């Protein structure tokens, strides 16, 4: 049984560690809904298998699956004999409304003794009835609690709507986010910017919030930070970039660059900003849009819609980076740049288009659990 705590992580000496701290495992959820994933979610399921296997090269993975799909997912995720060096992929039964573990899973926090607890944020499917992406979302709102029970980790239930993809931290007191998401009236409209910062400080143990104005153009999460920028170590930020002044993304990335150039982190360090190229703009094809089953409970997928493709949406895991590839000439450039900036890690690319069609990418479908001592 996981204990429900009435205090806050900061008051108890806990903080959110950086993603590069050693992980116990990574969590995922199996994609199933046919009104978000095309062709009965089959191509997306293959993409999730590829991601799970890539991560399992570096650390164990747990995948939550509905009862209806349990046998199928377990078979598909089973490692072949050739994968004897891989870590275990555990498959468990877990109800959900979709497959975005970054946003529905717990945010893990750690203390100086290496004890791990989890935050169970309130979840409203990226905006509730005011621009949210599907209805209902009741099962997704229970995912974090169930994960923490399975892991026997104490739980903080935050009275605050937040998705894990809306925040990145350096583990040394600094948090990165976007105004477009966290100040959106469809999240916590009763809170001012200062009150939101106070919540982030209480729950994540951070001392300074860096507010990028915007994220990636047409990002349906209201422009989560995990698609546009991340820390690669304290004092160093990777920022999604285009040199094409005609692209609406140019203004968004430029504003982020200008803002970050004038900021220091929580420890007073100026930031080094690395520009990570974006792939060329990508659009939903007619064939792809036609293969999504429309429903009243989910937003439609329309041919010609621009997708929020970005290489920033990668997961740092134990000794590795698992990042998307888009069949674009920039795939190699982005992978080589990330490899040279984090030479201690092996970069593995996995096809990202099918996950992107569902509205996110590798970071959005994963949630790391730090190793407890």
In the list 2, 221, 318, 367, the residue contacting ligand KQY (rule: CB under 6 A) is 221
Listed in sequence order, the residues at least 6 apart from 62 whose beta carbon sits closer than 8 Å to its beta carbon are 25, 26, 27, 28, 89, 90, 91, 92
Is residue 155 near ligand KQY by the rule CB under 6 A? no
* Binding window for ligand KQY (CB under 6 A); candidates: 154-162, 217-225, 234-242, 249-257: 217-225
Q: What single DSSP character describes residue 173?
A: S
Under rule CB under 6 A, residue 100 binds ligand KQY:
yes
Q: Is residue 237 at the binding interface for ligand KQY, with CB under 6 A as the rule?
A: no
Q: Contact 292/255 with Cβ under 8 angstroms?
A: no
Binding range to ligand KQY, per CB under 6 A, among 6-14, 56-64, 147-155, 220-228? 220-228
Q: Are strands 174-178 and 208-212 parallel, antiparallel or unpaired?
A: parallel
Q: Which is nearer to ligand KQY, 14 or 134 (CB)?
A: 134
217 is a site residue for ligand KQY (CB under 6 A) = no
Rounded (to 5) percent helix, strand, coil in the chain: 30, 25, 45
Residue 102 contacts ligand KQY per CB under 6 A: yes
Site residues (CB under 6 A) for ligand KQY, limited to 17-36: 36
* Residue 360 half-sphere exposure toward CB, CA atoms < 13 A: 28
Residues in the chain: 373
Number of C-alpha atoms within 13 angstroms, CB side, residue 371?
10
Among 51, 133, 200, 239, binds ligand KQY (CB under 6 A): 133
Query: Using CA atoms, how far apart are residues 92 and 211, in angstroms rounded to an integer?
Result: 37
Report which of 133, 115, 113, 114 is spatially closest to residue 123, judged by C-alpha positions.
133
Is residue 103 near ligand KQY by the rule CB under 6 A?
yes
Q: Using the rule CB under 6 A, which residue among 364, 366, 367, 369 binds ligand KQY? A: 364
Smallest gap from Cβ 78 to ligand KQY, in A, equals: 27
Contact letters (x/-) for ligand KQY, 45-84, by CB under 6 A? Answer: ----------------------------------------
Known catalytic residue at 364: yes
Q: Does 359 bind ligand KQY (CB under 6 A)?
A: yes
Match 């009835």 to its residue by tokens: 129
Indicate whether 352 belongs to the interface with ligand KQY (CB under 6 A): no
Cα dihedral 328/330/335/337 (nearest 10): 180
Cβ closer to ligand KQY: 181 or 271?
181
| Residue for token pair 């997708």 | 307
Q: How far is the CB of 302 from ligand KQY (least distance, A)?
A: 13
Torsion of CA 224, 175, 18, 357, to 10 degrees: 0
- Which chain residues interact with ligand KQY by CB under 6 A? 36, 98, 100, 102-103, 133, 165, 220-221, 224, 358-360, 364
Catalytic positions are 364
């Amino acid at each position: 049984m996981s204990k429900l705590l009435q205090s806050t992580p900061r008051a108890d000496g806990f903080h959110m560690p950086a993603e590069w701290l050693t992980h116990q495992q990574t969590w995922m959820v199996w994609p199933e809904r046919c009104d978000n994933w095309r062709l009965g979610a089959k191509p997306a399921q293959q993409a999730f298998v590829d991601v799970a296997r890539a991560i399992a090269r570096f650390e164990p993975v747990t995948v939550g699956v509905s009862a209806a799909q349990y046998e199928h997912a377990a078979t598909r995720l089973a490692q072949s004999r050739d994968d004897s060096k891989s870590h275990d992929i555990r498959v468990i039964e877990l109800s959900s409304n979709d497959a975005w573990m970054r946003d529905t899973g717990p945010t893990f926090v750690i203390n100086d003794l290496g004890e791990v607890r989890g935050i169970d944020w309130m979840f409203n499917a990226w905006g509730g009835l005011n621009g949210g992406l599907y209805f209902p979302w009741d099962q997704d709102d229970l995912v974090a609690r169930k994960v923490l029970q399975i892991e026997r980790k104490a739980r903080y239930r935050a009275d605050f709507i937040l998705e894990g993809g809306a925040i990145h931290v350096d583990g040394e007191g600094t948090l990165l986010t976007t105004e477009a998401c966290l100040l959106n009236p469809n999240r916590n409209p009763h809170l001012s910017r200062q009150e939101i910062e106070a919540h982030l400080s209480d729950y994540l143990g951070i001392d300074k919030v860096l507010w990028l104005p915007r994220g990636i153009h047409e990002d349906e999460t209201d422009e989560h930070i995990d698609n546009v920028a991340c820390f690669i170590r304290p004092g160093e930020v990777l920022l999604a970039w285009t040199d094409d002044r005609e692209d609406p993304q140019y203004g968004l990335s430029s504003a982020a660059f200008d803002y970050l150039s004038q900021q220091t982190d929580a420890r007073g360090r100026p930031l080094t900003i690395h520009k990570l190229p974006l792939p060329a703009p990508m659009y939903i094809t007619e064939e792809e849009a036609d293969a999504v089953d429309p429903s009243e409970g989910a937003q439609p997928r329309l041919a010609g819609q621009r997708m929020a493709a970005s290489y920033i949406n990668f997961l740092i895991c134990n000794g590795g980076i698992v990042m998307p590839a888009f069949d674009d000439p920039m795939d190699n450039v982005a992978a080589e740049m990330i490899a040279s900036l984090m030479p201690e890690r092996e970069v593995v690319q996995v096809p990202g288009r099918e996950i992107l069609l569902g509205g996110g990418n590798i970071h959005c479908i994963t949630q790391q659990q730090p190793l407890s001592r």
